[in-house]
Amino acid sequence: MQIRAFRVAASALVLGAILTTPAVRAASPTNYAALSKPRQALVDDLERRTFDWFWDSANPTTGLVPDHYPGESFSSIAAVGFGLTAYGVGAERGYITREQAVERTLATLRFFSDAPQNASEDDASGYHGFYYHFLDMQTGKRFGRWVELSSVDTTLLLGGVLFAQTYYDRDTPAEGEIRELADRIYRRVDWPWMQPRAPLISMGWTPGGQFIPSDWKGYNEGMLVYILALGSPTHPVKPEAWKAWLSTNDTTWGEFHGQTFLNFAPMFGHQYSHVWVDFRGIRDDWNREHDLDYFQNSRRATYSQRNYAIANPGKWTGYGANVWGLTASNGPGGIIVEQGDKTLKFEGYTARGAGLDYISDDGTIAPTAAGGSIAFAPEIVIPALETMKQRYGKSIYGRYGFVDAFNPSFHTRTELRTGRLVPELGWVDTVQLGIDQGPIVLMIENWRSDFVWKVMRRNPYIRNGLEKAGFTGGWLDESVP
């Protein structure tokens, strides 16, 4: 597995009558009940297997979830956030009992509440309420000196923490403790401390290098960072932070492969915040100016990715209407191949994507790019999942659903950093990543039942953060149930 210290952040039309203008229809016509029995079985199976990845991989004593699994791994705090939310899905779906979900959640929150917070290089799990991106699976402390105290990964962890706070609402000692611990963990985060260049929020900090010289600015997964920072009852940032984050949006607003939308090349930027926040029908100032909400924007981004694959400018093997999806994922790994008069570079872990901001495409398909977008555009996502499973399933679909990624264009026999070569297919990963599994299981459930969204609409911190960012309309105008 290629070690990664920091995540990279930073016009063919669809076949048929789905696209009638450069902007897709706002409402999705496909719901679970309308699917054929085989497609319902496909969704059911994928959701259950992806949930099982979190349940089986986590350390039941600490709740730490590995970055990648099977095999040895450090823990990803973002994966823990996805896992905490998945346990609620498991309880609702009957994969586990509510009591099992409570036990695992309580163990996780106790660990993060008690984990050491200080400025040392090696003897801490976090500082100022934030946590290190990667933790040792056994000790729970910073995995290595290359690992940053991460504002966005702490935020993704907090998504799961706040989900737990709201979901476990019964009058029992265990569920009461969950609520208390979740509140303590969230209230402890010192958001203004992470603003060395206020009003923007820094991407992170290290004891040796201090604050990372990059801030969350422009449309990306940092959306949830600002919402949670604004919503804090103890250490909030000022409302101008949201305006500063929005300030460069128009540089990536435009048409890309038949869709006009706010671009961010990898699909995870269109998915992560949406796992916990229902952006349907709520709008901030930027939304109102451009007459669409962020959910509609992600829907357009999903279609754009599919259109890009249909056009296939890189002439990669397998791309088409039902095989598509670029996002942060593993890949064959830092290998340059001479092929005729072309030089092809195949990356390891990187933020693949296609948009106005950049194109990073080496033929590697990540099923989560489609699967995590099921709530946005099920009518094109489900056929893609179905086709990829039918065409390559023997090699890319197993105990925990889809592997992280595969590349039908890579056939070079060489020493691989991760994955394996499959005859007549190409490179196939042998693990799943928590940050890619999370959007699959959670967005399937949001599409099926609005489950996570319904829970989070009741969370006062989410609501407060959205309102301070200037969001109005939709469910925000309704009273809390």
In a domain, 24, yes or no: no
- Alpha-carbon span 203 to 76, nearest angstrom: 16
Asked if residue 321 is part of any domain, the answer here is: yes
Q: Is residue 13 part of a domain?
A: no
DSSP letter (8 states) at residue 329: E
CATH number for the domain spanning 373: value is: 1.50.10.140
* Residue 7 covered by a domain: no
Q: How far from 125 is each of 133, 187, 240, 393, CA to CA, in Å?
A: 9, 17, 30, 39
CB 125 within 8 A of CB 142: yes
Instruction: Indicate whether 366 belongs to any domain.
Output: yes
Coil, strand or helix at 43: helix
Residue pair 359/316 in contact (Cβ under 8 Å)? The answer is no
Tell whether 347 is covered by a domain.
yes
Within a domain: 9: no
* Whole-angstrom distance, CA of residue 173 vs CA of residue 103: 12
Alpha helices per DSSP H over 58-97 = 77-93
Q: What does each of the 481 residues of the chain score in pLDDT, given as a tens digit?
A: 333 433 333 322 222 323 333 445 444 458 999 999 999 999 999 999 999 999 999 999 999 999 999 999 999 999 999 999 999 999 999 999 999 999 999 999 999 999 999 999 999 999 999 999 999 999 999 999 999 999 999 999 999 999 999 999 999 999 999 999 999 999 999 999 999 999 999 999 999 989 999 999 999 999 999 999 999 999 999 999 999 999 989 899 999 999 999 999 999 999 999 999 999 999 999 999 999 999 999 999 999 999 999 999 999 999 999 999 999 999 998 888 887 778 889 999 999 999 999 999 999 999 999 999 999 999 999 999 999 999 999 999 999 999 999 999 999 999 898 999 999 999 999 999 999 999 999 999 999 999 999 999 999 999 999 999 999 999 999 987 6
> Which residue in the block uniquely carries the two structure tokens 């900090």?
205
Q: Which sign, positive or negative, has the C-alpha torsion 38, 18, 402, 61?
A: negative
By residue count, the chain amounts to 481
Give the structural domain span for 388: 32-477
> Can you tell me the distance from the alpha carbon of 376 to that of 29, in angstroms, rounded to the nearest whole number?
11
Element (H, E) at 42: helix 37-57
- Quote the Cα angle for 91-96-102, to 5°: 65
d(CA 481, CA 463): 13
- Written as six digits, the tokens of 461 are 């911190």
User: What is the tally of structural domains in the chain?
Assistant: 1
User: Does 6 map to a domain?
Assistant: no
**Taking the complete model, does pTM exceed 0.85, yes or no?**
yes
